[in-house]
Amino acid sequence: MVFHRLSYPTTHALQYYTQHTGYHSLAELNAASARWQDNEFDIPMPEFWELLKQHLVAPFFVFQVNEAMLSGESIPLRKEMLDVSQYDADTVFNMDENVATVKKHILYGGTKVLQFTAANSAIHASSVPDPPDKGCIAFVLRTGFGTTQGNLMRTILFSAQRVTANNMESMLFILCLLCFALVASGMVLHQGLQDPTRNTFKLFLHCVMIITSVVPPELPMELSLAVTNSLLSLSKRNIFCTEPFRIPFAGKVDVVCFDKTGTLTSDALEMHGVAGLLATSVVPLDNPVQLVAPTALPTSVQLILAGCHSLMVVDGKVLGDPLETTILSHVKWNLRPGDVLVPHWSFSPGPKSMKIVHRYAFSSELKRMMYTHYAMKGCRVLALGSKSLSTRDLQRFKTIARSTMETDLVFGGFVVLDCPLKPDTADVILHLNKSNHKLVMITGDNALTACDVATQTNTRL
């Protein structure tokens, strides 16, 4: 009997998805359910006695639970509908190869949809009629263990055997002790047999006691207690480990890799100002690299900083990229539901409100200009640009291609932000260098910014 994995519809042309009409009868729905099964994970839970037998040699871990949170801040991501006007009908929608292109159109299992905005009817190209509640229509690509979440669960459950104290190194250690015990008991037995007045039974008993003393039966539990003591020492320093028996392997580590943002540097961004502005009567400048404070910026630049972002309001809170929230707070504008922005103070000069008509998703494939003067100082530099458009037909702007919209822009300057090092980063790096560890920094930021942070921390890129 030969088993084959299910072939999921993830490599078809774009028109296959836009022309799909779903299931029209209960028989089709039942047939699809029988083939693809429900979108759930069937993970059998072991009984208590099985867990107890596994942990008899590893005390204090029978009732241990994992309450660790994922590292980093949870940032909502904005997804877009599949707009057929941006692609050819024969474009292959391969989510395995073109991840950077198609991931902005994909919802992953296990995520929570916070908001949904109905699509413009002019770009709606699905063959399925609109739902009565104006909901979101989706095409299911994978289910169960075929999803990204399912692959992660399979890796956690079945990728490797559980690490315990009864590993190969422990067995080698016990074997070495056993060799010394056999040699010692052999010498005692040899010397004792040469004495005819000595009791043979007591002689053999002494040999057995030597072996049991050198190789104690409680050794596995003692090794587990050593791991437990290590956990207690780490917990006193607010370091928590969900895999206790991985601690002995930490002694073999000779290369330490750090992520830059949020690990070596702080999560809180600091906005220094905007550079590259033209000198005016409102903003006099002594040199082109002079920074202008956010509150002293021209109105046009403040509108760019306040309106060009992907932030959203959920349950009365502004959520999104920390970089964008920092900029919005420094220019003194508030984001309201419906993508409406208003200044902090009603008596501020300039527009009293602003609305975001259309957003273009961030694409890492598009090259962005970097201002080398501040990038070499470890700052994050973003270019600003704007364009004046007519307000007669705002709906038309939602269908204009991004390449067309981003032509003939007026340069608005470079916004300069800094992500300083954490207070304890220098001490940690110093201790690791003294212990002869090789330090490596891994980052996706600009090369000049990464070089400056690597120089400050004495690490390699």
| Alpha-carbon gap, residue 371 to 413, rounded angstroms | 10
Query: What percentage of the chain carries pLDDT values higher than 90?
Result: 0
Q: What is the pLDDT of residue 86?
A: 67
Q: What amino acid is encoded at 343 in this protein?
A: P
| Alpha-carbon gap, residue 160 to 167, rounded angstroms | 13
Q: What positions carry a catalytic annotation? A: 259
Band of the pLDDT at 43, cuts 50, 70, 90?
A: low
| Alpha-carbon gap, residue 163 to 246, rounded angstroms | 7
| Alpha-carbon gap, residue 330 to 306, rounded angstroms | 9
Q: What is the pLDDT of residue 55?
A: 59
Tens digit of each residue's pLDDT (9 = 90 or more) over 244-262? 777 878 888 899 888 887 7
pTM for this model (two decimals): 0.56
Q: What share of residues in the chain are helix, strand, coil (percent, to 5)?
A: 40, 10, 50
CA atoms lying within 13 Å on the CB side of residue 94: 7
Q: Please state the domain extents for the chain.
A: 1-159, 168-252, 270-418
Sign, CA dihedral 218-220-224-227, equals positive
390 vs 120, 159, 302, 395, 397, CA distance in Å?
Answer: 20, 58, 20, 11, 10
Tens digit of each residue's pLDDT (9 = 90 or more) over 310-349? 888 877 888 877 888 888 888 888 888 888 888 877 656 6
170 vs 53, 74, 212, CA distance in Å?
Answer: 19, 41, 17
Tens digit of each residue's pLDDT (9 = 90 or more) over 13-25? 777 777 777 787 8
